């Protein structure tokens, strides 16, 4: 994959020094005067304003203040540059798609963290893997996920990592188009559809990642080997593959993301067509 370091994206929020090991929770629930004073002092000393975090809702830890950030390796810094490039490039592509459809695109933010941080959807933990929170329109990634992906047999090539980022961005597209909200309403009406709806949303996000992949291929930024490596990672995070790796029985009724074959199929559909309307994972129809 050909890409250039353009510096850290303005849409990347780096919390690797604000979260994770060595930290302590300041408040849970209500805000006491002692906690308020303590946070005010820490804010003055550190030069970072933590006071707004005291009033975060949702029942999660409102803020975590950590020890000084650990040393960042050259490899990790390169990952930040790659993620920044991918995020900016993909959002430019989606801006064009939305403009062509007479829609306004709103940028997602991407949060880099270590171990644990806060999100609009509650506590974000490295153990959950990368995810998108529609409430604050942010993608959350702990770079330690690459190690987990390798253990599952996935690739950590540049385009494979970009696939992970653009898959999560695909959920932002669903949010902007009202697709996720519609599916949530259907699940409320019929709870038995929760698993199929989740799978459909995830496969569509794979397809949307492929739509961006198609655009990069048209600009000669990737080659066939790059695509093979991305497909390898898509297969590695298939529900059936993870179940087998965990020595569990394969249970399609419990899936949330789809099988390896399905994930490869829908990423390929996006790659080959480059069309949003081709990503019809909802019973053959594009939602909404």
pLDDT band of residue 63 (cuts 50, 70, 90) is very low
How many Å separate Cα 262 from the centre of its chain?
Answer: 19
pLDDT band at residue 287 using 50, 70 and 90 as cut-offs: low
In whole angstroms, how far apart are CA 223 and each of 109, 145, 214? 28, 25, 11
Long-range CB contacts for residues 220-229, cutoff 8 Å, separation at least 24: 220/2, 221/1, 221/2, 221/3, 222/1, 222/2, 222/159, 226/1, 226/157, 226/158, 226/159, 227/159, 227/271, 229/155, 229/157, 229/159, 229/160
Q: How many CA atoms lie within 13 A of 247 on its CB side?
A: 0
Retrieve residue 64's tokens: 């975590």
User: What are the respective helix, strand and coil percentages of the chain, to the nearest 5?
Assistant: 55, 10, 35
- CA–CA distance, 161 with 169 (Å, rounded to integer): 13
Give the per-residue pLDDT at 32.
Answer: 42
Residue 282 DSSP symbol: B
pLDDT, tens only, 157-216: 999 999 999 999 999 999 999 998 988 888 888 888 888 899 999 999 999 999 999 999
So what's the pLDDT on residue 250? Answer: 80
Note the pLDDT of residue 94: 97
More confident residue, 58 or 187: 187
Domain segments of the chain: what residues?
24-65, 70-278
Q: Return the pLDDT at 284.
A: 61
State the pLDDT at residue 69.
53
Distance of alpha carbon 279 from alpha carbon 273, whole angstroms = 9
Q: What is the pTM of this model?
A: 0.81
> Which stretch of 41-45, 81-85, 167-171 has the lowest confidence by average pLDDT?
41-45
> What's the Rg (C-alpha) of the chain?
20
Residue 245: predicted pLDDT: 86
Question: Which has more confidence, 250 or 229?
Answer: 229
Q: Where are the beta strands (DSSP E) in the chain?
A: 12-14, 24-25, 64-65, 109-112, 116-119, 122-125, 131-133, 138-141
Strand (E) or helix (H) holding 163: helix 158-177
Give the Cβ contact number of residue 119 at 10 Å: 21
């Amino acid at each position: 994959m050909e890409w250039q370091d353009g510096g850290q994206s303005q849409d990347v929020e780096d919390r690797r020094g604000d979260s994770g090991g060595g930290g302590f929770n300041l408040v849970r629930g209500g805000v006491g005067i002692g906690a308020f004073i303590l946070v005010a002092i820490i804010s003055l000393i550190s030069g970072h304003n933590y006071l707004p975090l005291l009033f975060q809702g949702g029942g999660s830890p409102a803020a975590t203040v950590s020890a000084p950030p650990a040393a960042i390796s050259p490899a990790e810094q390169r990952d930040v540059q790659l993620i920044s490039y991918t995020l900016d490039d993909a959002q430019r592509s989606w801006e064009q798609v939305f403009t062509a459809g007479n829609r306004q695109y709103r940028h997602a933010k991407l949060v880099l963290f270590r171990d644990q941080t806060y999100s609009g959807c509650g506590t974000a933990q490295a153990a959950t893997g990368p995810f998108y929170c529609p409430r604050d329109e942010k993608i959350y990634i702990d770079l330690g996920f690459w190690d987990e992906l390798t253990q599952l047999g996935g690739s950590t090539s540049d385009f494979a990592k970009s696939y992970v980022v653009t898959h999560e961005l695909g959920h932002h597209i669903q949010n902007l188009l009202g697709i996720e909200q519609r599916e949530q309403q259907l699940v409320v009406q019929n709870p038995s559809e929760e698993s199929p709806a989740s799978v459909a949303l995830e496969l569509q996000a794979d397809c949307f990642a492929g739509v961006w992949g198609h655009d990069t291929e048209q600009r000669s930024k990737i080659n066939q080997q790059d695509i093979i490596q991305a497909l390898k990672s898509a297969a590695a995070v298939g529900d059936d593959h993870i179940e087998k790796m965990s020595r569990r029985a394969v249970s399609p009724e419990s899936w949330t993301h789809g099988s390896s074959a399905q994930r490869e199929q829908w990423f390929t559909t996006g790659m080959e067509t480059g069309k949003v309307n081709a990503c019809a994972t909802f019973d053959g129809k594009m939602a909404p």
